[in-house]
Structure 1
Amino acid sequence: MTNRRDFLKNAGLATAAAAGASTLAAPAVHGQTQIKWRLQTYAGPALAEHVIKPAIDDFNKVANGEMVIELYTADQLVPTGELFRAMQNGTIDAVQSDDDSMAAPVDVAVFGGYFPFATRYSLDVPVLFNQWGLKEIWEEAYGEVEGVKWLSAGSWDPCHFNTKDPIRSLEDLKGKRVYTFPTAGRFLSRFGVVPVNIPYEDAEVAVQTGELDGIAWSGITEDYTVGWANVTPYFLTNNICGAWIGSFFANSEKYDALPDHLKTLLKLAMDSSHYYRQHWYWGGEAKLRVEGTKMQLTTIPDAEWQTVEDAAQEFWDEIAAESERKARVVKILRDYSAAMKKAGRPYRYS
């Protein structure tokens, strides 16, 4: 309500100011009108301090008053699952999220977030989008949807389990209630995991109250940053994906109305956000495994974990059968994985 009142108040002041200016100096009105966007991220406040806030702060500084992006964190204006619709109808102007958890109505949404074993390292994501054709496929998919423009994809951290009880075998996963992403949960249910969908900011309390047995939403950097390491004493070193795929989106009408230099500045801000995450997560994943004191590392033996990787290939086949475009994405993922293995070190070690 406070945000709504402020919005109406500011809108009224802007209208009055514009009316006065039109009487005295009509040609200058447009140059004096500040563009304001409201952007909501999937991330809670602590995580947003790293994954987006520095880039938005820099954008606002360099825009020099021409444009201001107001940043809102997870579920602050609308629930994460309603982000797409809210952006589409103009309730918010832009979003940072994965396609999967914000329920984007496009077939490629299943590949957003953590698509099982689609990536091994964080650098795989920008390479897949910029050199292997995923960018064009995402542009094609979102070009079929009214009101929303997909802008840019980047990588986050790998997907591990942080749990209340130690996980040392696949048997230990059975029956565990785990907060995770829709497609990742669909895959993990094959191993007895019970996916649970709750607001991001509720996950820590849900572990404490027993609603959750663990979380499969991030790597160890995020566990420490947002406080999950305080309530989940065990961290499983096996992961189901090497990097989260997230994107920036905007209401297409608002984006199209931007002058070209602000579109360029927005692209630079997104690239800055992508780059910051590359080194912040990569360094944090190693440092906290070695020096972190809050979580004990556990591991499922490689031979046993291989059954999960094998099952992922069957899962890919099922997804590819759902649409021609999904089949194209799966083919790119397979061709890329084969090329990385053939290239050998440092691209793939096994």
Structure 2
Amino acid sequence: MTSRRKFLKTAGMGVAAAPLAAPALAQSTIKWRMQTYAGAALAEHVVKPAIDTFNKIAGDRMQIELYYADQLVPTGELFRAMQRGTIDAVQSDDDSMASPTEVTVFGGYFPFASRYSLDVPVLFNQYGLNEIWAEEYAKVGVKHISAGSWDPCHFATKDPINSLADLKGKRVFTFPTAGRFLSQFGVVPVTLPWEDIEVAVQTGELDGIAWSGITEDYTVGWADVTNYFLTNNISGAWIGHFFANMGRYEELPEDLKLLLATCMEQSHYYRQWWYWGGEANLRVDGTKMQLTSIPDNEWDQVESAAHKFWDEIAAESPTKAKVVEIFKKYNADMAKAGRPYRYG
């Protein structure tokens, strides 16, 4: 932390993992610093292509320097750093960056809120979540630019998980809300810096990870240190976002705001097919982890517990109640719509 704070005070650019390369810039070039929740290997897919595209199109008018997980500040301090203007923009879920809003608990993996990745953009663009997020973040000086879906949430573990009983006592790296929910099944949530996870599994500090789907397990190296992948998931898609300091965002010309939003939407689209295809391909052709499953009649207990958890969250505030009602209506609509929206 001392070195990070020294970096922020001096605004030096000589960090070990350098920001995106940029051409020689004019003095008038708008310069932003963005930090993502993702480590370098994952960022190559979840954000870097969009920022590379933005910088190429914007040219001398604006450049965004991209930093990876915990490079400038720990992920849990991302919101405060952005709010203060220490960094200009962030890619993260609400939960991981500890944003002080009424919607924070729904970021990342809110248990069983979605079944498929397309559920997330529909919830935001057609069921009203965009408006709620925009209002909540405006209250705290942050611009909510865009929401999108990532991968589903599965367990990757050293020992096989074939029943709920096998989860008891397992020390698992996961998101705050997911950990709060899973603790009732005996899971012990552990919080560590993202880059430390692989070593923590190797040393036995962690028994497993409930942070991603199988695509990320392979991409970031976790498939090399875990032996089993549980096919049951607690959410069909991670909910993540792009945010910016409100003052810095409002300073942008309208066409750069539009370019920013367009590149971020392209990022969401890229992840839709990269994850969707990757999850299936690695289940079928992946060689590093053995697939296990908890029987449906037993896993139904987890889904039932999730709906009780929704009601507990809804009781905490009117805004949370409004979001939960949207999730309930959406899932009821999908069940009524039937195949392919919902099965069974």
Q: Which TM-score tier does this pair reach, normalised by the shorter chain? A: over 0.9
Match of 1:59 in 2: 54
- Alignment RMSD, CA only? 1.5
Distance 1:343 1:40 in 2: 39
Distance 2:185 2:13 in 1: 53
For these two proteins, the number of residue pairs brought into alignment is: 329
Distance 1:226 1:100 in 2: 21
Question: Deviation string for 1:219-263 (max 9, x for gaps)?
Answer: 000000000000001000000000000000001111000011100
Distance 1:135 1:264 in 2: 17
| Counterpart residue type for residue 327 of structure 1 | A
Q: Check conservation: 2:154, 2:212, Cα contact below 8 A.
A: yes
1:314 equivalenced with 2:296 (yes/no): no
Question: Deviation string for 1:144-183 (max 9, x for gaps)?
Answer: 11x3111110000000000000000000000000000000
Match of 1:24 in 2: none
1:301 equivalenced with 2:295 (yes/no): yes
Distance 1:143 1:257 in 2: 15
Match of 2:20 in 1: none
Aligned-partner SS, 1:65: helix
| Counterpart residue type for residue 302 of structure 1 | D
Aligned-partner SS, 1:293: coil
| Counterpart residue type for residue 146 of structure 2 | S
| Counterpart residue type for residue 211 of structure 2 | W
| Counterpart residue type for residue 36 of structure 1 | K
1:212 equivalenced with 2:169 (yes/no): no
Q: CA 1:253/1:209 → structure 2, altered by over 3 Å: closer, same or farther?
A: same
- 1:1-350 → structure 2 map (5 Å cutoff): 7=11, 33-145=28-140, 147-350=141-344
Aligned-partner SS, 1:161: strand
Aligned-partner SS, 2:103: helix
Aligned-partner SS, 2:226: coil
Distance 2:201 2:9 in 1: 36
Q: Check conservation: 2:8, 2:72, Cα contact below 8 A.
A: no
Aligned-partner SS, 1:64: helix
Q: Check conservation: 2:168, 2:185, Cα contact below 8 A.
A: yes
| Counterpart residue type for residue 54 of structure 1 | P
Whichever of the two has the greater Rg, that structure is 1
Aligned-partner SS, 1:107: coil
Q: Using the TM superposition, give the Cα deviation of residue 107 of structure 1 relative to its aligned residue in structure 2, in angstroms.
A: 1.2
Distance 2:28 2:10 in 1: 17
| Counterpart residue type for residue 112 of structure 1 | G
Question: Deviation string for 1:85-115 (max 9, x for gaps)?
Answer: 0001111000000000100000110000000
Distance 1:204 1:236 in 2: 18
Q: Using the TM superposition, give the Cα deviation of residue 284 of structure 1 relative to its aligned residue in structure 2, in angstroms.
A: 0.2
Q: CA 1:9/1:278 → structure 2, altered by over 3 Å: closer, same or farther?
A: closer
Greater fraction helix: 1
Distance 2:165 2:143 in 1: 43
Q: Using the TM superposition, give the Cα deviation of residue 7 of structure 1 relative to its aligned residue in structure 2, in angstroms.
A: 3.8
Q: CA 1:266/1:172 → structure 2, altered by over 3 Å: closer, same or farther?
A: same
Q: CA 1:274/1:9 → structure 2, altered by over 3 Å: closer, same or farther?
A: closer
Structure 2 unaligned runs (5+)? 15-25
Distance 1:277 1:303 in 2: 32
Structure 1 unaligned runs (5+)? 11-30
Q: Check conservation: 2:7, 2:72, Cα contact below 8 A.
A: no
| Counterpart residue type for residue 35 of structure 1 | I
| Counterpart residue type for residue 70 of structure 1 | E
Q: CA 1:303/1:59 → structure 2, altered by over 3 Å: closer, same or farther?
A: same
Distance 1:296 1:306 in 2: 23
Distance 1:90 1:103 in 2: 16
Aligned-partner SS, 2:86: coil
Runs of 4+ in 1 over 6 A off after TM superposition: none
Match of 1:14 in 2: none
Identity of paired residues, percent? 74
Distance 2:59 2:170 in 1: 50
